[in-house]
Structure 1
Amino acid sequence: MKKVYDSAAEALEGVLFDGMTIAAGGFGLCGIPELLIAAIREAGTKDLTVASNNAGVDDFGLGLLLKTRQVKKMISSYVGENAEFMRQYLSGELELEFNPQGTLAERMRAGGAGIPGFYTKTGVGTVIAEGKEHKEFDGQTYILERGIVADLAIVKAWKADDTGNLVFRKTARNFNPNAATCGKICIAEVEEIVPRGSLDPDKIHLPGIYVHRLLQGEHEKRIEQRTIRAA
């Protein structure tokens, strides 16, 4: 089965449709599938629900899809770096489902593991718990969170072989593995595709069984908040 594609646009061919749910890896601008995001923007796919830790910044990452009004709803933990996100949300143009970061990561992991829901204490007594089932265990109150199963998962890794085994670099191994598993189709972009058998099996972070399509590309790796000392 062919997994390696020449470009993000080619890898997305036949996958995108209006109204779909996308799980996107990355944290801030670290480890984001920037090439796939740009290709989705060019494709013009709209009414998207996107599950991601955040929505990038105004002119990069998922912020590009917000700018073109292609996103209908965000399922996110942190939205503080994106002024357009804030404007659309406050004006009622964008739906937002807030999740604590650990809950969002576990919702993705649960969806990928075939677990429809789980109970957690995180969010009890806050707006996060509104409208959710409450249950008591050992005298403590928990709320039910549903696993996320996305139509498409897009992730970014450091290295891969042609079977889709992935290695993430340092903190880029954040939401990426969990996001990858919860997609009905997973597309990964990587910095380097290495020969089959050259990856140490003990260093593989995500088995290729989860990855359906793969592409190699050049990445900008933009810094979210650049802080330098005086000359």
Structure 2
Amino acid sequence: MSIPQKVVSFKEAEQLFRDGMTIMFGGFMGAGTPAGLVRALLANGANNLTMIGNDTAFPESGVGPLIVNKRVRKLIVSHIGTNPETGRQMLANEIEVQLVPQGTLIEQIRCGGAGLGGVLTPTGVGTIVEEGKTKLTFDGVEYLVERPLRADIAIIKAKKADRIGNLVYERAARNFNPLIALAADLVIAEVDELVETGEIDPDVVITPGALVDKIVLAGRN
């Protein structure tokens, strides 16, 4: 049985993006966000994107450049406060922003990856977060029903990969990347180092290669 060739150039990865796609991205304030893939997405010219991730970082980092260049139609995130351009576009009705409590957002992504129907959470009950959502009561406690989230493509960042896509992350830059790798139809990993298959100790692999479809090496076109 032949092993698929997963290692591609940024130019090849760029061709995978299309207008109107839903794209999940890893990172926390830009740390752990695949900067090279963000640039590839910019170069591709895809518009009307829905972006799902923790935050919009800063205008010049993370997914901020996509916001600045008005490539994004809708955001599902937990924080926008460090990117004034996101706030400006939201107030001008140029972009739709769905703010979700961080823990709820990650649970929605986890549910999307696990094939579950959603998650019950008390977070947001009695606040504007509950508007338009189903509520259920169990043992006298009210819960919101939060639906699972999935994406067409996930772009993630890792420290190291082997040629079949087993991934190792670097410290806090790991953040939400492993969960996001579970919840997309196509997963592209940007890595700092590429090694031969078998060179990574299986005990340190966080994201198994079965979840990774494409690999790009940071700093290489």
Query: Which bin holds the TM-score, normalised by the shorter protein?
Result: over 0.9
TM-score, reference length from structure 2:
0.95
| RMSD of aligned residue pairs (Cα, Å) | 1.2
Q: Distance in 2 between matches of 1:206 and 1:92?
A: 38
| 1:141-168 deviation line (CA, Å, top 9, x unaligned) | 1001111110000000001111101111
Q: Which residue of 1 aligns with 2:54?
A: 53
User: What residue is the counterpart of 1:11 in the other structure?
Assistant: 13
Give 1:102's aligned residue: 103
The 8 Å contact of residues 14 and 44 in structure 2, kept in 1 or not, is answered as: no
| Percent of aligned pairs sharing the same letter | 44
2:219 alignment partner AA: E
Alignment of 1:151-162 (within 5 A): 151-162=152-163
Give the letter for the 2:14 counterpart: L
1:200 aligns with 2:206: no
Unaligned runs of 5+ in 1: 220-231
How much does 1:24 deviate? 0.4
Q: Say yes or no: does 1:84 pair with 2:89.
A: no
Partner of 1:120: 121
Q: Which amino acid aligns with 1:39?
A: A
1:124 shift after superposition: 1.1
Question: For residues 71 and 169 of structure 2, what CA distance do their matches in structure 1 show?
Answer: 28
Between the aligned partners of 1:124 and 1:199, the Cα distance in structure 2 is 45
Q: CA deviation at 1:60?
A: 2.0
* DSSP 3-state at the match of 1:185: strand
Preserved CA contact (<8 Å) 1:33 1:155 = yes
Q: Cα offset for 1:61?
A: 2.1
Distance (Å, rounded) in 1 between the aligned partners of 2:12 and 2:211 = 19
Q: Deviations over 1:2-57 (max 9, x none)?
A: 1001x2221232x2111110000011111001100011011110000000101121
The structural deviation recorded for 1:187 is 0.2
Aligned-partner Cα distance in 1 for 2:63–2:29: 10
Assess if the C-alpha contact under 8 Å between 1:9 and 1:36 holds in 2: no
- After TM superposition, the structure 1 = structure 2 runs for residues 111-190 of structure 1, keeping only pairs within 5 Å, are 111-190=112-191
Supply the distance in 2 between the matched residues of 1:131 and 1:205 (Cα, whole angstroms): 36
Cα distance in 1 for partners of 2:25, 2:187 equals: 10
- Is 1:213–2:214 an aligned residue pair? yes
Deviation at 1:131, TM superposition (A): 0.6
Query: Is 1:24 matched with 2:25?
Result: yes
- 5+ residue gaps, structure 2: none
Q: Distance in 2 between matches of 1:147 and 1:33?
A: 24
| 1:181 aligned counterpart, secondary structure | coil
Match of 1:229 in 2: none
Amino acid at match of 1:97: Q
User: Does the Cα contact within 8 Å between 1:23 and 1:50 map onto a contact in 2?
Assistant: yes
The Cα of 1:102 is off from its aligned counterpart by 0.9
- Work out whether residues 177 and 205 of structure 1, in 8 Å CA contact, stay in contact via their aligned partners in 2: yes
Structure 1 length normalisation: TM-score? 0.91
Q: Quote how far apart the aligned CAs of 1:101 are.
A: 0.8
